[in-house]
Amino acid sequence: MTTVGFIGSGQIGSAIARLAIEAGHQVVLSNSRGPETLADTAAELGPWASAATSGEAAAAGDIVVVTVPVKAFLDLPAAPLAGKTVIDTCNYGPERDGHIPELDDTSLTSSELLLRYIPDTLLVKAFNNIFYKHLLSLARPAGAGDRSYLPIAGDSAPAKAAVTEFIESIGYSVVDAGPLADSWRQATGTPVWGTPYGPYSNEKGHSAGEDAIRAALATATR
């Protein structure tokens, strides 16, 4: 059993947490408003879920999922995240985050920017390209013919291996999309972002196999 800490427990974080618990993992949830605001969510998820501060969630997690607005990167608890494998689900949105020059001019990816705030982590980009309702509905057991794939990007082979093992445990297979510098290929608006799993209007979505994900990554342009 892996303990997964969550910094941010909105739609995508809660979806990952639910799948993690169904797969036998323990989760520690946090958000910017305090653990008391997550009491109902933790209770609904059951005895393997608890609510904590972001620092406590970071310290507790064998893997930590960061799922916050890009503008909130500066508030992350860097010290307890040091040495941890961290999954970055975040997408940059200027309308929400304000304009960030390095992201606007594509000199950095949002993951590379995140690494400036939590420099001692082993960062892997994942889960940022799929609608949370599709994430919940498309999970399938290993070996299923309609099992979907998710892209991941990162610079640490051991961290990628750990994240791959976790993703596979919760119902998905993985396509290695390269280093963090290439994580723009799965950013907002790229071909692999949302489209392979179907429109938002179809809440159940449809499976996206390895070939579809690789093709979408290959056709991404800046």
**CA 220/CA 135 separation, integer angstroms:** 22
- pLDDT, residue 1, reads 75
What does each C-alpha distance from 208 to 29, 103, 146, 150, 204 come to in angstroms? 29, 28, 8, 9, 12
- pLDDT, residue 21, reads 98
Q: pTM value?
A: 0.97
The DSSP H or E segment spanning 86 is: strand 85-88
- pLDDT, residue 211, reads 98
- pLDDT, residue 68, reads 98
Q: Does domain 3-218 have CATH number 3.40.50.620?
A: no
| Residue ranges in the chain modelled with pLDDT below 50 | none
**CA 140/CA 67 separation, integer angstroms:** 23
Dig out the tokens for 45 from the structure. 């998820």
**CA 28/CA 58 separation, integer angstroms:** 9
